[in-house]
Amino acid sequence: MTASALRDFSRLCLHTMTTKPWSIETAIARYAAAGVKGITVWRQWLDGKDPKGVGQMARDAGLEIVSYCRGGFFPARDRQGQQAAIDDNRMIIDEAEALGTQLIVLVCGAVPGQPLSDSRGQIRDGIGAVLDHARSAGIRLGIEPLHPMYADERSAINTIRQANDLSDFLQDPLVGVVVDVYHLWWDPDLQKEIRRAGQAGRLFAFHICDWLTPTEDLLNDRGLMGDGCINLREIRGWVEDAGFKGFNEVEIFSNRWWQQDQDVFLEAIKKAYLAVS
Ligand code: ZN
């Protein structure tokens, strides 16, 4: 089923990466003033900051901290590297708890030249190794499958089916799936696997943007909703049919938009959100 139009901004969340030129203080102030209700904080925005203080600032401004982005990057060439990744993820869990969010987005990682099957095993073991820590912090871990063009160095988890299978294997209510339309829109199994995630109670987050033609940069040329070819409203319908009631998180990495006035960009996001999301 195709979802009905969104009428207000009560479920609109922005990733701090979307307005990359803005500091965390500016992002919080401008989002709140624009009527945005959610914020997903990327880790580099906390550099040199007290996560607890940033979390309080966001809540005081009326923003819910939807998630902390990002943990993961578990695969490594040797045991030492794998252990370092596990230690880093424990620290990320502590930061998320201090920030006051209940979800960490996992970009699972990959190592160029290392067989993907090896990386997937390390991802499974890495998540398993931090689960107790996540449990004591009350933090959920959302596996975000990335488009296969990133299988070399960003994620060996490339389809929602893989994320569901991994969640099935780990069998923990803290482990679930993040649906990002940019990574998954092409998948013929998308509707079926979204339903599967919903039935298992593990549909944790929904990220939106658009796919531009031609895409000029593999990482930083995402489009504003409606400027590309993703069947966004249809996918949102599937996500809502699967029981998801959370935020629509706008996550746009765009060299084009980052060169613009970010207040103009924010207004364009709001307009596109109501028109096409
Ligand atoms: Zn995403």
**26-51 mean pLDDT:** 98
Number of domains, the chain:
1
Question: For residues 4 and 243, which has the higher predicted lDDT (pLDDT)?
Answer: 243
What domain range includes position 99? 12-275
When the pLDDT of each residue in the chain is averaged and rounded to a whole number, the result is: 97
Q: What is the dihedral of CA 106, 241, 224, 209, to 10 degrees?
A: 20
pTM (two decimals) = 0.98
Residue 16 lies in a domain: yes
Provide the pLDDT for residue 132.
Answer: 98
Residue 122 lies in a domain: yes
Distance (angstroms) between ligand 1 centre and the Cα of 39 equals 13
Distance (angstroms) between ligand 1 centre and the Cα of 180 equals 5
Percentage, residues of the chain above pLDDT 90:
98
Residue 244 lies in a domain: yes
**Tokens standing for 255?**
């060299």
Q: What is the pLDDT of residues 155-175, one digit of tens each?
A: 999 999 999 999 999 999 999
CATH number at residue 140: 3.20.20.150
Distance (angstroms) between ligand 1 centre and the Cα of 141 equals 14
Residue 112 lies in a domain: yes
**Cα angle at 140 between 31 and 135, to 5 degrees?**
135
Residue 4 lies in a domain: no
Distance (angstroms) between ligand 1 centre and the Cα of 115 equals 24
Residue 6 lies in a domain: no
Distance (angstroms) between ligand 1 centre and the Cα of 129 equals 23
Provide the pLDDT for residue 2.
Answer: 83
Q: Contact at 8 Å (CB) between 62 and 12?
A: no
Distance (angstroms) between ligand 1 centre and the Cα of 56 equals 24
**115-134 mean pLDDT:** 98
Distance (angstroms) between ligand 1 centre and the Cα of 53 equals 25
Q: For residue 243, give the DSSP letter.
A: T
How many other C-beta atoms lie within 10 A of the C-beta of residue 36?
25
Q: Contact at 8 Å (CB) between 179 and 239?
A: yes
Task: Give the E-state strand segments of 16-85 in sequence order.
Answer: 38-42, 64-72
Provide the pLDDT for residue 153.
Answer: 97
Provide the pLDDT for residue 69.
Answer: 98
Provide the pLDDT for residue 4.
Answer: 86
Residue 7 lies in a domain: no
Distance (angstroms) between ligand 1 centre and the Cα of 215 equals 17
Q: What is the pLDDT of residues 222-270, one digit of tens each?
A: 999 999 999 999 999 999 999 999 999 999 999 999 999 999 999 999 9
Distance (angstroms) between ligand 1 centre and the Cα of 234 equals 18
End-to-end Cα, the chain, rounded Å: 14
**113-136 mean pLDDT:** 98
Residue 224 lies in a domain: yes
